[in-house]
Structure formats: structure tokens, C-alpha cells
Amino acid sequence: MFGYIRICKPQMKICEYDTYQAVYCTLCRHLGRHLGLPARMLLNYDYTFLTMVMIALSEEPSRFVRGRCVFNPAKRCGNCATHADAFEYTSALTAIMFYHKLRDNINDATGGKRLLWQMLLPYASHVRKRAMKLCADEDALVDKYIRRQFEAEHRAVESGDVIVDELCQPTADVISAIAVKLSTKPDEQTVLKYFGYFLGRWIYLIDALDDLDEDLQNRSFNPLALKFHLTAQDTAERSEAWENARQFGNDSLNQSIAEAIKYYELLDFGQFKPILDNIMYLGVSEAQRSALMKGMTDNPKEQKNRKTGVETS
């Protein structure tokens, strides 16, 4: 999870933002309480979104109280006094994902970065063991996803035949499987399966678009770079191929999020619907726009003339 599923704060009511922030802060508390203080640093918007979906689909009423921030005791913040199971689940899932992402980073990195990741591995292993008491199935699932992702990317590099749908598949499948866990009702689980699939596809693609220039500079794997045969020189020159890659990425993102929203609209989120609507209709669009604009020239006239534009639908 990469933190792309976030709110569009300027378009939220104050009461909605306070509720969202309370869920965010409560998840932070649970991470610290169950996995140790450093685990609070693993918190991101994606896990907050998953927690809010799980709470929204629960039949248990929500109750929020005011508390003190652990990092800033002078600051008062919201705290969700209910739905402990949702917070425990996403806390454990955060630890599981952190461990496997760290192992993947160690395999990919070299030099100082590799050493840094290796230094973090003992802590990641520790929190993973604690998390597996609740998320053993998810641990096996994420491990399988990492291996499938590596194999798909290796095949693409070896053959030169880049089929983006195949490269998206492992991420889409793992997010789909996790989304199903957010409800206990069979009819909702069926919808969540497809909602999670297309959302996972969107996550993989936006990460590729957001990291395109950096991956080219570092010679790291990127599906868009490989598909359009890009080099670091394409980034420097803002070549036609570079423009085409970004346009393709944006179009694919629009298709994926449109499909995800089709299934999202079939779910009843009760009192949390305005907040989740803000995320799905505005927040993800803003994240996509930000990724698309990343690396663009600061010259407004040249930005306007870019073929990719900055509009999302």
C-alpha cells in the first residue's frame, strides 16, 4: 500500500474531516499499542481508508471521544471508542505489508539503501510475528503476491513483451482478497471482491506513473518505461515516447478507477458515505493528477500544451 487513497481536504465539511482524522488517529494508537511505538510510523492513508470501509460496513454503531495525541500531548484529537476489531485487523495488516515490502526492497536495492533496509528487518520480523496471530492468511497471501509480481516483471523484462494487465494482476488480486475481508456478509463480499480488484489495479498503475522519472534515473523496473522503451534521456528531453507513456498511464488509471467506482456505488456505507465519496470521487482524482504532473516543467505555457494534460475523469 502506497498512500494514494486519500481525502481531498478542501472539499470536506469540518465534521467529516474530524471523523476521518479520528479514524486516522485511532489507527495510529492501535499500531503503537499492539506493535510498539515505531509501528506508528507505518501508518498511511490507504490503511485508514480500509479501516473506514470496514467500520462503515459493520452494523455496530460508531462512537467517538476526544483524547490526547501521543506525540503532542498539548493537542486534542478524536478517538474511535468502538470497532476495535477493525483497527486490530488493519494494524496487523499494516505490519504484514511492511515486512514483505521491506524484503522486496532488500532484494531490489544495492549499496547503502540495501544496508538500511537490512537494519530494519529484525524489527519488521518482530511485528510480523505479532501480526500473524490475527492475519496468518494475509501473510501467506502477500508473500504469494510478491513472488507472482517478481515473476511477472521478470518475464516482461526477459521477453520484452509488456502486457500491462498481466503486470497489474498480482496487486489487483491481493487487494481484492483483502477487500473481501472487510465484510462478513456474502453479498457485500462479492461486490468488495471486484471493487478491490480494480482499486488494486489503479494502485499499481498510479505507483508506476508517479515513479516513472525516478525509476528511469535509477534504472529500476517500471512497466510504463518498459512498454514505451524509455530511457533517462526521454525524461530529460520530455520526448514524445515519454508523453505517450504518461498518456497511456493516465488513460489506464481512468479506466480502472471508473470500474472500481461502479462496484463502490453498490455498497451502503451509511454515515461514512460522504467521507468515502470524497475519497473515491475527489481524493483519488487529485492523487492521479499529482502523479501526472510530477516532473512536468514549471513553465505554465508548456504545461498547457502537453498532450497528456492534467485532467482526470
pLDDT in tens, 130-175: 888 888 899 999 999 989 998 999 999 998 888 888 999 999 999 9
More confident residue, 127 or 35: 127
Mean pLDDT over all residues of the chain?
Answer: 87
pLDDT at 160: 83
- Local confidence band at 71 (pLDDT 50, 70, 90 cut-offs): low
149: cell is 509480481
- Local confidence band at 106 (pLDDT 50, 70, 90 cut-offs): confident
pLDDT at 298: 40
Could you tell me what percentage of the chain is helix, strand and coil, using 3-state DSSP and rounding each to the nearest 5? 75, 5, 25
Domain 9-305 class in CATH = mainly alpha
pLDDT at 9: 94
Predicted TM-score (pTM) of this structure? 0.88
d(CA 172, CA 85): 25
d(CA 248, CA 87): 37
d(CA 299, CA 107): 39
d(CA 312, CA 63): 36
The count of other CB atoms within 10 Å of the CB of residue 76 is: 11
User: Over 80: is that where the pLDDT of 194 sits?
Assistant: yes
What percent of the chain has pLDDT above 90?
A: 56
For residue 236, how far is the Cα from the chain centroid?
28
Cβ atoms of 173 and 197 within 8 Å: the answer is yes
pLDDT at 22: 93
